[in-house]
Chains A and B, each alone.
Chain A
């Protein structure tokens, strides 16, 4: 009570940071500083930029299924293979990311280590609860932050440097940051879940582990599943981009077609890529809406 009274009397300094004008000013200053420190137009502009761009845009209306190279071969088999590789790499990476991310997510949630103190304060085991467990938690979270802070493309390049070029490197490269992202988000979702069921189980005499597994996990399941579906879109995009550094996904086809100025061919690949990405996005959107309704 006294605390509430105090905070009502004392002007809340923190809230000044979120006033529209303060934040607008900060963002404006940051923008001006960024703009002035950056040479936006550089000297790298190609001389025939407009010509090539017009060619590229006009090719949008006439995508082709036979190659523009002198061989004039059929594009369809290669296209199908590229699409399959893109999707399969995304799925394989997701299977790793979900399973390891789930374990890491549980381990990185406060609920796992301190369920009972979250449900109600338990005076016992002070040292473990005050010092050891928070330290462990910080350690796990720092480890995940390090995994996540390196982009999947750089993991992929690093993987190729270490193990040589194979699809497995691409899958692992996608999986590493995704494991960490899943871990972080799953942990957040678990910590945001209502403790009512866990508390009820506690009253029935359940231990910490049972409280976590039967009281919290099922309660958080729908939002975790929803995030998983959303993340699949991202992994599909990343898997396509892996092509730009040489993995046989759709990005590779786009990259080589544009590099050879085969713009009509490039548009075929681009249309297929858009189709795949937009369809997945729409399907996962429908599923996620259903999940929200279920929750």
Chain B
């Protein structure tokens, strides 16, 4: 305990040397931060008019007038439009606007997200095991197992890399781009939206789950394999039940995002709430557009709540 100052400093220095405070990390964080700062100077922010130099970034008067629900708009003697609150008129308008989408519009949006996430989960279930190191790269599950010839090992590694790159490709491409490409083949039908969301989310689900499969405690697997279970049996009985809960957590987490993303598929004319929003903007019906956006965000918030409730229940059980 009795250390003089010099010794203590030396001990601290030795500790610092041992700590894996990572140069690469420090360097890349610094680059990231400077890119963030530099981006503001490198971009043409478009705040001023290129010729006149006047500020272009101000609230458009048209928006202010059009965002007031139209029965509430009143013109004053100068021709400016103001809002005048009248609850009967407002609720009448709200009811009429709601009737344009109705429950069927809401159900459609939610249905697409449910179908998409279920399809994604089915695809992901097939992709998880080939993409997790501890299952795909081994011949058996026992530590003493013979790993086979060099070709066998190479083949397994090749399959593993293939599964990984499929996942990378699936999840790196945004669902919106998938949907846009599927539009060429299918046109703006719900199936295109379902497939697009499913492809992207299958990649994410499989990747997240394969990470938790890789983190599994290996001893139960060894025990099963030691009792003579084959690779399939160990995967089904040893890996499956233990990865299942985490898979469900990710399933509900991705479902929340799916609901959020379903709406924007409307911009590609797929029949979701987003289509109504897009049309309202196209006709400059900003009052309706804001109404639909609020309806949509209510759906997303409810979905978020249900999803996190499910996740919490699963974690606790």
Contacts and interface: CB of A to CB of B under 8 A. Distances in A.
A42 interface: yes
B52 interface: no
Contacts, number: 217
B57 interface: yes
A162 B108 contact: no
B111 A274 contact: no
Contact of A41 (B176, B189, B244, B316): B189
Interface in A1-23: 12, 14-15, 17-18, 20, 23
Interface in B9-25: 20-22, 24-25
A216 interface: no
Nearest to B244: A20
Contacts of B37: 95
Interface in B168-197: 168-169, 171-174, 176-177, 180-181, 184-191, 194
Interface residues of A, number: 83
Contact of B25 (A171, A238, A290): A290
B297 A146 contact: yes
B149 interface: no
Given A53-B185, A167-B45, A287 B28 contact: yes
B46 to A, nearest CB: 3
Contact of A241 (B29, B174, B317): B174
A294 B180 contact: no
A162 B286 CA distance: 10
A27 B115 CA distance: 10
Interface in B290-305: 290, 293, 296-298, 300-301, 304
B39 interface: yes
B187 A38 contact: no
Contacts of B58: 163
A151 B187 contact: no
Interface string B278-314: 1001000010011001001110110010000000011
A262 interface: no
A111 to B, nearest CB: 19
Contacts of B38: 91
B267 A245 contact: yes
A225 B29 CA distance: 9
A60 B108 CA distance: 34
| Category for how many chain B residues contact A | 35 or more
Secondary structure dominating the interface of A:
helix
A115 B195 CA distance: 46
A18 B184 contact: no
A50 B185 contact: yes
Contacts of B44: 167
A100 B314 CA distance: 32
Given A167-B44, A254-B177, A294-B20, A38 B111 contact: yes
Interface of B: 20-22, 24-25, 28-29, 32, 35-40, 42-47, 56-60, 63, 104, 107-108, 110-112, 114-115, 118, 168-169, 171-174, 176-177, 180-181, 184-191, 194, 244-245, 248, 260-261, 263-264, 267-269, 271, 274, 277-278, 281, 286, 289-290, 293, 296-298, 300-301, 304, 313-314, 316-317
Given A23-B248, A157-B278, A274-B173, 5 more contacts: A95-B40, A163-B58, A163-B59, A244-B267, A277-B173
